[in-house]
Structure 1
């Protein structure tokens, strides 16, 4: 009876992933992906033969996903460390972070994108206000039926609101798994592909810890949410975080598809023309 009560209490407290052995699985790269320290640390490695990657054991359908990541240090030019939620299929949904490496001393580029029903092309890019290779930092995705908020150390860097009322698809229907991978993309990742991967610096390694999924879980066609995960269903930016988001956009945004008139000569996407 005590064991049953303890398991029930854990469920009611939400889905918290504190052990990578239980919550994630290495899916490619052979031994280049490792789960260490009794499941408390995970590393992904790229060398001149292969990268590596993992995915979550569960599918999530709304909630808040947190992961602490320490990115590839030194000369990481040409490398990409991807961290994202995604469903499968031609009409998949996806919520992306991609960390584009750079030469030593130059800032990482944080590339974000949102796909709905298989269509993306909603890229925004940022530089960071800290060195993401020295310490672990928390990268979060808040996803509910009203909005998607990308945050770093609880500071929002991007919001993508639900605009279905004016005909803009929003990732709402499909449950998604969490994925991460490290791979070589030197044809485009660093300065448009002008800077290539220096394989003498390999292996390149990203590290992960403190995964937390305070999220609804999809299993066998049914979605279950604990009382705590339901609190995320109506979350939105408060006044403090609206100002934080404005600070990030004014000081660290380096690309916004909503201002790229050359890319969209027939007119910017509809969501870019909506007044807040």
Structure 2
């Protein structure tokens, strides 16, 4: 998930975001840092806190082989290097040397996040995006539209990256994760500002389960 190269995309138009009423436990469940994750607003919002002891994460209950995966995110107002707020699709064993992954990652720098694609390898397909709004001021919608020909990365329904690939390029089933964690590649954390809290809403999935 390291930051290797930059391809800057600058947008100038604002978008009004429509909030979703999807509840967290329809598609998702916590899977680590349980005491640093809270479900609020009658199940419609998840807040993830990270401090020097832990971050947290949640994952989808199912795996998919294509689909539209959408999340509304508001990152911590207290910014520092090293804190990564993420929304991504990943194959089951992320610790394997070879895996598949499709990323949205905020990297602790105001107004910027990176996208990345891993396909049976360590990745190195990063693109850094300059946002046209402050992602800590309000919720905005981030979408991964994954089909057999391409991946569209969207922000507030605007495509910020198109990744085209040959058939069967991504071969593994993927599940969805939302995590806030300490990534050393993203810089050193200023823990004097801790805790950092990011919020997630709009837990929308229109995915195609894989054939067993």
> TM-score, structure 1 length as denominator?
0.65
Structure with a larger share of its residues in helix: 1
1:141-152 correspondence to structure 2 within 5 Å: 141-152=144-155
Alignment check: 8 A CA contact 1:92 1:117 kept: yes
Which of 96, 99, 123 aligns to 1:92? It is 99
> Which structure would you say has the larger RCO, counting Cα contacts within 8 Å and 6 or more residues apart?
2
Note if contact 1:21-1:35 (Cα within 8 Å) is conserved in structure 2.
no
Structure of larger gyration radius: 1
What number of residue pairs does the alignment pair up?
Answer: 190
Instruction: Mark the runs of 5 or more structure 2 residues left unpaired by the alignment.
Output: 1-19
List runs of 5+ in structure 1 lacking aligned partners.
Answer: 1-15, 223-276
- Are the counterparts in 2 of residues 100 and 108 from structure 1 also a CA contact under 8 Å? no
Q: What is the aligned partner in structure 2 of residue 188 from structure 1?
A: 185
Calculate the aligned-residue CA RMSD, in Å. Answer: 1.9
Secondary structure of the residue aligned to 1:38 is coil
Which residue number in structure 1 is paired with residue 70 of structure 2? 66
Alignment correspondent of 2:37: 33
Match of 2:169 in 1: 170
TM-score (norm 2): 0.83
Which has more strand, going by share of residues?
A: 2
Q: Pick one of 51, 55, 62 that aligns with 2:55.
A: 51
Structure 1 runs of 4+ off > 4 angstroms? none
Is residue 154–residue 160 contact of structure 2 (8 Å, CA) maintained in 1? Answer: yes
Contact 1:26 1:34 in 2 (8 A): no
SS of structure 2 residue aligned to 1:188: helix
Structure 2 residue matching 1:200: 3-state secondary structure? helix
